[in-house]
Chains A and B, each alone.
Chain A
Amino acid sequence: MGVPFEALLPYAVCIGMFGFSGAALSKIRAMQNGGKRARHSVDQWDRQMMDRDRRLTGFLRGQTDNVKAPAGFELSNPWRLEPGFT
């Protein structure tokens, strides 16, 4: 006899729902990251490099392979301050 497909329909529904939400979440993550996969396990070195990328290109995930930095790059690294109490 044939395959009892009515019994497998709920599994198809579950897999479809999981798949759709997974795809939607991954599309949202890609949109947030400029079309690339998200960074994970980002440590202080990676945060510093991503900050430098933002100073170079304007986007946190932007990349460029120019040899020379744009004008004013060497002056754009900010001092980080605390609010002063007097």
Chain B
Amino acid sequence: MSARQPRFNQHLLIDTTPLPDSIPKVQEVGSSSAPLLSASFFIGARCKAYNDDFMQCKTEANGKGEMDCLREGRKVTRCAGSVLDDINKSCLDEFRKHWECLDNNNQQLWQCRRWERPLNNCVFEKLNLEKKIPGVPENETPVHLRKRQIFAHSVITQ
């Protein structure tokens, strides 16, 4: 019999058995996609070590890392939750404006630089987290610091 690709569009199974008590419980991050995208670089700035550990664990496990990497995964979740908690406490208005703009613009960061600059300033002052894009060549300004965004729809919001 030739193998065919599975077609997973008919049935869903929701398994409500919780995890065993031997695994410590961690509160899942409750933000949806736009706030997470908006806070992603700050989560990266604070949680780089934990994220790198988790990614290394998953890469080395070669597909079997779902159970083995739970510990690193818990650290990642707790750290990301702490960053979101701090942003909610200190910079909520700028954060909300930024992710509402992202939600309206297909989650494209270059359309919403106008609201990203006050958010970056606020988070840098209050939480000391800076957004850095890794891999920028030395003699170029990073794309989020440029005055003109070449792909933005409107001049006002870029």
Contact = CB atoms under 8 A, between A and B. Distances in A.
Nearest to A36: B104
B14 A66 contact: no
Contact of B28 (A49, A53, A69, A82): A69
A28 to B, nearest CB: 17
Interface residues of B, number: 35
Interface string A49-78: 110110011000111111111101111111
A82 B10 contact: yes
Interface string B1-43: 0000011111111111110000000011111111100000000
Q: How large is the interface on A (under 10, 10 to 19, 20 to 34, 35 or more residues)?
A: 20 to 34
Contacts of B107: 39, 46
Interface string B70-93: 000000000001001100100000
A81 B99 CA distance: 34
Interface in A28-46: 36-37, 39-41, 46
A65 B31 contact: yes
Interface of B: 6-18, 27-35, 81, 84-85, 88, 95-96, 99-100, 103-107
Question: Which 10 residue pairs of A and B lie closest in terms of their CB atoms, listed nearest first?
Answer: A80-B8, A69-B30, A69-B28, A78-B12, A66-B30, A49-B33, A65-B35, A81-B11, A53-B32, A79-B13
26 contacts: A37-B106, A49-B33, A53-B32, A62-B32, A63-B33, A63-B34, A63-B103, A64-B32, A64-B35, A65-B96, A66-B31, A67-B84, A67-B85, A68-B27, A68-B81, A70-B30, A72-B16, A77-B14, A79-B12, A79-B14, A80-B8, A80-B11, A80-B13, A81-B12, A82-B7, A82-B10
